[in-house]
Chain A
């Protein structure tokens, strides 16, 4: 409120000095300002003005606030005796344009000709449909001159303050993290499949994913203290995801077991070999491959975790192949690109497969098959800084591994306290199929492989 009145008095001061100068144009616009602002402040000040100015004001108060010319813009003459062309609209009815801004292009005889606006204003009407034929001189569009949005350099911007609710920001930027949780809204449309830690998130985190950014941005635009609500209908996709998640929760007996992994060995291995790896295989060596391989190894060892219950036939389906889905968040929802037959791959193969999926996604070759199926899922909440959490199973699988953030923690090693980079891992599993002992053994196996990859060689 304070800032508003300050602005108004400033404008008032300006308009008063302008009135004193007696310039007709300015005073008309200043009067416009006066007439659209709150009356109280001005009345007092007006009385203190010299009489001539008061007369001027009284005279102009009755006139319209803005100049209201509507011009019809015609098709310019074509070059080189060409007679007709097709119109392609760049702007639409209601768009504000500046002087010289391109409103449409006319294509004639393989030439694209720009048609600029003769003045600043708002497009009132398009007289030819998009793609329609015109000749030189044909009326093209109607432009209402004058400021559609506060753009006139002379008149102070008094249109803004008097309005009770300021318009929403022209370009809603991504909402602050406090509202929508750790989901980067600047996620590229292609599921990013980098060689190292995947930009994935646990399925449980889907729920707070923002609906279209618009409603959240609207809450940004509203003045603080205005307690409005906005309702957005849930789209079918979201309804479906919600339905499936609840179904999964209702059928599976889900529970989670945790463990922690000492990442020092694997970090050290990565540091020692990353340059040589890059040189030989031409891709980067990341942490994901270690976990994928560890999971594949553990799954081969504990086939129940790789199996699934078929509720319709009441059978347990055991699979001898291991397809690992890596959960990736995209603007359109969770996608789970699958790495097939991981049981036979080594770290380099896994990194290549992950890289290939990324390449396919970039080249728009990712098919529906590539994003579905899978016997086990790994999700990485650590990218967002999560420390600890319970992932939710992605039906129709039986288990999911959640990776969290790597943080330096004091741990007891050989009776002494040491600082080690530690990661908490979580395994959510279907207790109908996998019992506690199997789940814990499974997770411990993953831990032992990641903590010491030599375990793979020795088949321990």
Chain B
């Protein structure tokens, strides 16, 4: 990030919105996950939060968001996501994996480090919900989740503490697509051994499953109407922000592209290994065998790969060549396919067939 000076960069637009003391409530116009995450980062980096609290509401089209130190291959099914056109984003705060869509409301509480208090923030949410629907039993847990009726999770939290500022954001399941959620939030491939932050799986439910009459507008209204919340001061009107407006948020485009880059999304994965067994069969002769696959990955790149095939199904020297070609590549099916195609082309008949089969099987491990 580039630290920018407050005075130099605030345009008249934002400045006039900032009241002298107390809070500011914003809603993002964007439904692009990377733009919204970049907006959070921009506010945290560029706004002087010493005497201010900011509250941001936003939502995005279908996307999977993993925590800063998580392993995407372990947390979500990348192949399923690619087929469904669901993008992956890595946020800068810690915590676990969430599924975002237009039925999932996101709330971000910005404050300086001294005033960082997540339980207080969640209280704002639970009180707003209780006001809107007093019959719902919503409670914040010690783990900073919000549970409905004592057992279903409707909100999870994550936060980030930087040198001066902090933010705490949480989700709120209003009417998310439950089946889509379940289909993508599973590992891409078996056999992953990693010390990345794991997600804690919980049963979830939507607010609308228990209070069908609660509309999106009513929910956002209840949350932004914080006049009753003593720690938020006077209520201020909900302002709409456009995160794609570079004049209001100079440098935000750059932040968004960094978040979209492969090096951030996948390259920031902590070191991990994959240890699994492959089942191989020759398409023509139907000769069957198994192989042991051991891959070590660092920064999303294959740092070492060892394949041991049983029964002399394929020459070991050729297998080693395949491993050589794959070493140093991104753990990404496309890149790998380009690399191996030349190797395969130079073989013939049975060797080619089997090598092709082995490559495809290895590639399928990548999600």
Contact = CB atoms under 8 A, between A and B. Distances in A.
Contact of A372 (B341, B348, B363): B341
Interface string B94-122: 11100000000000000001001111000
A71 to B, nearest CB: 18
B163 interface: yes
A114 B344 contact: no
Given A240-B346, A368-B360, A372-B344, A330 B338 contact: yes
Contact-residue bracket for chain A: 35 or more
The 9 A-B residue pairs with the shortest CB-CB distance in the complex, in nearest-first order = A110-B95, A131-B195, A112-B94, A364-B334, A107-B94, A111-B159, A113-B161, A371-B341, A112-B68
Interface of A: 79-80, 86, 88, 100, 105, 107-114, 116, 130-131, 189-191, 235-237, 240-241, 243-244, 312, 330, 332-335, 361, 363-368, 370-372, 395
A88 B334 contact: no
B356 interface: yes
A45 B287 CA distance: 85
Could you say which of A109, A333, A370 has the most chain B C-beta atoms within 10 Å of its C-beta? A109
Contacts of B344: 368, 372
A237 B92 contact: no
A244 B341 contact: no
Interface string B315-344: 000000100110001001111011111111
B321 A332 contact: no
A237 B67 contact: no
A111 B69 CA distance: 10
B184 interface: no
A371 B337 contact: yes
Contacts of B338: 191, 330, 332-333, 335, 366, 371
Contact-residue bracket for chain B: 35 or more
B356 to A, nearest CB: 7
Contact of A240 (B162, B332, B342): B342
Interface in B104-163: 113, 116-119, 144, 156-163
Could you say which of A86, A116, A190 has the most chain B C-beta atoms within 10 Å of its C-beta? A86
Main secondary structure of the interface of B (DSSP, over half): mixed
B163 A80 contact: no
A240 B161 contact: no
A347 B36 CA distance: 41
B163 A116 contact: yes
24 contacts: A79-B116, A80-B117, A80-B118, A86-B195, A108-B94, A109-B94, A109-B144, A112-B159, A114-B163, A130-B271, A131-B270, A190-B334, A237-B343, A243-B346, A330-B338, A366-B334, A367-B360, A368-B337, A368-B340, A368-B341, A368-B363, A371-B338, A371-B341, A372-B344
B206 interface: no
B53 to A, nearest CB: 16
Given A86-B69, A112-B69, A372 B345 contact: yes
Contact of B325 (A108, A237, A244): A237
B329 to A, nearest CB: 8
A395 B348 CA distance: 12
Contacts of B67: 107, 110, 112
B23 interface: no
A308 to B, nearest CB: 13
B339 A364 contact: no
B351 interface: no
B205 interface: no
Interface in B344-363: 344-346, 348, 356, 359-360, 363
A110 B157 contact: yes
A194 to B, nearest CB: 18
B342 A333 contact: yes
A130 B270 contact: yes
B161 A111 contact: yes
B93 interface: yes
Contact of B345 (A86, A107, A244, A361): A244
A366 B325 contact: no
B82 interface: yes
Contacts of A190: 334
A336 B178 CA distance: 41
B271 A111 contact: no
Could you say which of B92, B157, B162, B334 has the most chain A C-beta atoms within 10 Å of its C-beta? B334
B273 interface: no
B277 to A, nearest CB: 22
Contact of B161 (A112, A237, A243): A112
B197 interface: yes
Contacts of A395: 345
A130 B299 CA distance: 13
Contact of B341 (A79, A189, A335): A335
B116 to A, nearest CB: 6
A191 B339 CA distance: 12
Nearest to B196: A131
Contacts of B360: 367-368
A363 B82 contact: yes
B266 to A, nearest CB: 11
A23 B94 CA distance: 48
A142 to B, nearest CB: 21
A232 to B, nearest CB: 14
Nearest to A335: B338
Interface string B76-102: 000000100000000011111000000
A328 to B, nearest CB: 10
B212 to A, nearest CB: 31
Contacts of B363: 367-368
Contacts of B271: 130
A390 to B, nearest CB: 22
A114 B161 contact: yes
A77 to B, nearest CB: 11
A204 B93 CA distance: 50
Given A86-B69, A112-B69, A367-B360, 6 more contacts: A131-B196, A131-B270, A240-B321, A333-B339, A364-B82, A365-B82
A424 B270 CA distance: 52
A366 B334 CA distance: 6
Given A88-B270, A112-B159, A372-B341, A236 B82 contact: no
A109 B157 CA distance: 10
A108 B158 CA distance: 10
A98 to B, nearest CB: 12
B349 to A, nearest CB: 8
Interface in B280-323: 321
Contacts of A111: 93-95, 158-161
A105 B69 contact: yes
Contacts of B68: 88, 105, 107, 112
A173 B335 CA distance: 23
Given A107-B197, A130-B270, A330-B338, A100 B69 contact: no
Contact of B69 (A88, A241, A330, A333): A88
Contacts of A80: 116-119
Given A110-B144, A112-B92, A368-B340, A86 B82 contact: no
A100 B3 CA distance: 11
A191 B96 CA distance: 34
Nearest to B161: A113
